[in-house]
Amino acid sequence: MKKQLFATAMLATLVTGGRGTLRAQEPPVPDVMPQQDIMTQNNTPERNQSFGLNNIWTSIGAPEFAPLSRTLPPIWAGYGYVSPAPANDRGYYWAQLNLPNGAEVKYIEMAVYDNDPDGWVAFTVNGVQAYTPHFDPSPELEHFGSASTSSISTTPRYATISMIPSQPLVIHDSADFDGDGNGTTYYYIYVQTQRGASANDNDLRFFGAAVRWTRTLSLPPTTASFDDVPVDYWAFQHIEALAKSGITSGCDASNFCPEDPLTRAQMAVFLAKALGLHWPW
């Protein structure tokens, strides 16, 4: 295998993720609420990285969930948990999924405390698309799945409720949910709570959510950027990803020279651009 081909494929996978490439088997979902450095089952730390194929965890704490409409702000209940709306009432809260473009959400779980036989906590994951003149004639909402403590037969007390998106959920600042044109989009977690008439402030609480996601490789274009890398070339998607990201401009005005060996100087340029290396003065 040529050095240039291997290095190109490796770098594209390193930077943007591996859609369309072989992936290692994903690790099992932990039973506890993951933090920035979670411990895997063999007690070794799994650290978030700013590149590559690894699963990344992003935590959204209870303070980030804003009350909707006339819902009262949640009450601090200790240990990071908050108690939602008053007894015998519903609460509505939401928080945006602030993930980078191209992030694919794989799994979301919410840590809750439910000691209320007449109450429940539920969440849904939605995407919204704005009205855009000349493109999308109306706002749109897309639903990606939900979870609730009401599906648990007994009062669970400390528990986690979780969901896997019912369809691919890839974050984009602009998307088309209904086939009538692109519009500005964002994605959010929507929480609903119901407290029973006799429940006190500590009987129903939520802690926040943990989102597991991975980076993805952008889809290949329909036309080639380089004369010597046609659309049926085995590394076409990777080379186009590097070119569209501004990491490479090829070996001349119209070619990439995929069969040429890679020099240390060229690799330095690739890595510095790909990782955004910056030396602070």
**Torsion sign over Cα 241, 46, 82, 192:** positive
Residues 165/166/170/176 CA torsion (nearest 10 deg): -140
| Tokens found for residue 86 | 């008053």
Residue corresponding to tokens 């369809």: 167
The rounded Cα 268 to chain-centroid distance in angstroms is: 30
Is pLDDT at 183 greater than 50 in this prediction?
yes
pLDDT value for 200: 85
Q: Per mean pLDDT, which range of 124-128, 156-160, 228-232 is the poorest?
A: 156-160
CA 54 – CA 56 distance, rounded (Å):
6
- Amino acid (1-letter code) at residue 127: G
More confident position, 264 or 33: 264
* Average pLDDT value over all residues in the chain: 81
Query: Residue 8: which residues within 8 A CB-CB, separation 6 or more?
Result: 235, 238, 239, 242, 258
Is pLDDT at 172 greater than 50 in this prediction?
yes
> Are 110 and 177 within 8 A, CB to CB?
no
CA 46 – CA 207 distance, rounded (Å):
22
> Are 126 and 190 within 8 A, CB to CB?
yes
pLDDT digits (tens, 9 = 90+) for 18-33: 433 333 333 333 333 3
Q: Given pLDDT bands bounded at 50, 70 and 90, which one contains residue 40? A: very low
Alpha helix (H) residue ranges in the chain: 3-16, 236-244, 264-275
The residue ranges of every structural domain in the chain are 3-15+219-275, 54-215
| Tokens found for residue 190 | 């929507």
- Class (C level, CATH) for 54-215: mainly beta
Is pLDDT at 6 greater than 60 in this prediction?
no
Q: Given pLDDT bands bounded at 50, 70 and 90, which one contains residue 144? A: very high
pTM for the model: 0.74
Q: Given pLDDT bands bounded at 50, 70 and 90, which one contains residue 112? A: very high
pLDDT value for 135: 55
Q: Given pLDDT bands bounded at 50, 70 and 90, which one contains residue 157? A: confident
Residues 127/133/136/140 CA torsion (nearest 10 deg): 30
Q: Rounded to the nearest 5°, which phi and psi values hold at 243?
A: -70, -45
